[in-house]
Each structure stands twice: as structure tokens, then as C-alpha cells.
Structure 1
Amino acid sequence: MLRALCLIGTSLLFTTGLRYIPLAEATAVNFLAPLLVTALSVPFLRERVSRAQWLAVLAGFVGVLIVVRPGGALFTPAILLPLGSALCFGFYQLLTRKLSGVDSPTTSNFLTGILNSLIMSALLPFFWSTPTLVHGLFMIGLGTCGMLGHMLLTQAFRHAAPAMLAPFSYGQILFAGLFGYLIFDHTPDQYALVGIAVICLSGLAVAWAQRKR
């Protein structure tokens, strides 16, 4: 139940945030999640995190601050939406890791999907808007990609620790920047690019430190 609520929070907060925050920057802020997974795997999963990994996590937080930079265009209440999404997704990944040794990926994702459907169906009448055919096809594609992604994520957590896996998802930031440029004609400014680079490098540093152990 808690895992399903975390996933709903992740989706709703991030999707809503995209109404106000550009795709690349919102994705970069959302990538606090892997850093949170690394940090929170210590108290929640009793895993060891090295000093180098802690430094990388700290660098990642600095990278997010560079992207958001107080006083900049993104420093608005709307930035709390992708930040909240990151927090929810971090806990989702930790719960996925805990359940991976108990349930199979198929069972875990099936139960999460059922709970998500029930909760969202209860909310649907309050926000319903009839989609067009094109929007319907987009939603089917989105659901299919999401299902495959979550199944692969659950399977990955069966074979490796969260601190090891988390950094590999940083490629999403690059694709977000590319799609933001191609589809929405948005290019991050120099500060955002520096912050995004710091976030990506911090993730790679976490992975490198994990392999050294």
C-alpha cells in the first residue's frame, strides 16, 4: 500500500510540476531520488555507504541548488513539486528493494498497479476530461513504457543494492534535455547545465565508490 502511494505521489507531483518547470530542469531536480536512496539505504536497509559516496551525495545536492539557484527563475513554490516527486520516488525504490526478496517482480508490480488503479479511479470523477484519440494513444504508450520500466527496475533491485543501481538512471536527464529541445524548443541556461553536470557526475561517483568496495 505504501509503495503504491509513493508511486502515485511521484507521478502526480512530477507531472504537475511539468506545467511550471521545463522538462530538463524538472528531471534534474527529480534526480535527488537516487541520492536520497543512497543516503537512506543506511537507516532503512542497514547498508554501508562509504565516505566517498557521502561526498558524492553532497555534491549532488549542490548540483540541484545550482539548477534551482535561489533568486533564479526556477526558485518558485512550483519547484517543490519535482522535489516532492524525488522524495516519493526515493522511498518507492527503498520499498522496492525491501520487497524484492519477498515477492516476485510480477507480483509486486501487479499489486502496486491494482492499488494505483483503485486510488486513481476514486479520484477520476473529480478531474475527468474526455481525451482525444491522439491523447488516448499517448496515454496507452505512457502506461506501457511505465509498466516495462517498473518491471525492469524491480528485477534490477533483486540483483544489486540501491546505492549501486541508482546512478545508472542519470541518462534520463540527457534524454529529457534532448526531448525538451526537440519538442518544446527549450535549452537550459548555463547555470542549469552546470548543475545538471554536477548531478550526473555525483551519480557516477557513487557507482564508482560502490565498485571500489
Structure 2
Amino acid sequence: MDLFSRSWTALRAAVAALRDQDFERPSGCTGWLVRDLVCHLIIDAQDVLITLVTPAETEPTRDAVTYWDIVEVPTGDDPLDALTVRLAAAYGDPALLKFHLDDVGSAAGRAAELADPGVRVSTRDQVLTAGDYLSAYVLEWTLHHLDLIAHLPDVVEPPAESLSRSRAMLEKIAGAAFPASFSDQEALLIGTGRRVPTDAQQTELGELAGKLPLVLG
């Protein structure tokens, strides 16, 4: 629960520090500019708020790791992805995107702090405890933080503990550990297909290379 707050606060602070021209730079999400990514974060924050007030009576069907499904590599044809791009462009002024993220994002952060980790909630036709749901989002925030800074080297990186926890979660999803020589950031970028491994890294990956990329949805 605490790591959710730290990772989310760090990501929102990184967005708040962006210059207007940064919003027109590419992000680490294929086909998305930084402004599109920030718009997606607003939608994510809304999802957090909705989920935390959607109680469930049945037993959990997922946990923080199994919450994630492995999906096809995005092609850009998904209607929701296309809607995100159009919505981001409609904001016009980057200051409006910053304001909306700060407004909705702060509310999502407060809701997470107030949530009982043992309460069961429903999202995507699945049931999780609030604690597991928020833990799953540490991986979401960390990957998108890396997406945000992909072409903005002067923007602060995700917290080290977020990178470490996200790597551990991705390794559980993969069912195998990444080579010890990989930094946490390298493991996350290569593991999710955001970066192509070098020939040497490909060799180190061994059998795990055949499972990559792990595109999470």
C-alpha cells in the first residue's frame, strides 16, 4: 500500500515537472506522445477511484500478480487507444492535462491511503483485495514512469524500490528470473518489449527469451 503511494506520487511529480514542449515528445508507449500517456494516466486514476468503491462479496479470483493478463503486442488499432490520442489532443494546453492529472490523481492517491487492504473489490470482471489491486498498480505506475522518461533523460526516474518490486512481479509473471547482470530497469524494459536486448543479453536470457515480450493488459 505504501509503495503504491510512493510510486504514484513520484510519477505525478515527474509529470508536473515537464515543460510544455515535452508533451509533444514521443513516449515509451509505441505510437503515443507524452501527452497521450499523461491522458492515459488520468484514465488509470479514474479506474483506481472506481475500483476502490466497487465492493465484491465473492472470494478473490486474482492477486497482485495474476491480475495481469498477457496480451498481443498492440498495433495501435485498439479503439480505446485511439480514443486516448484524440482526447489528449483535445486538451490543447498541456497545463490542462497537468491540472486534471493532479486533481484526479490526488483523489486516487487519497482513496488508496484510506482503503482497507483486506476489503474485496471488483474490476474487469475479477475480484481482488484492495491491497492486491493497489500492489498490482505499482507495476503499472513504474512501467509508465519509464515510458514517460524514455526520451526525456533529464526527468527523474522511478523510485528504486518501485523498480525492484516491479521486477520481482514481472519475474513471477514470467515464471523465471532475469539475469542478475540486468539492472531492474533493463529487466522491465526488455521483459515488456520496450527495449530490444543486445546480442549478449539475448544469450544471457536463455530460455526466458522465448517467453518475451510480456505485454501486460
TM-score, normalising length: structure 1? 0.28
Higher RCO structure (Cα 8 Å, ≥6 apart): 1
Higher normalized helix content (fraction of residues): 1
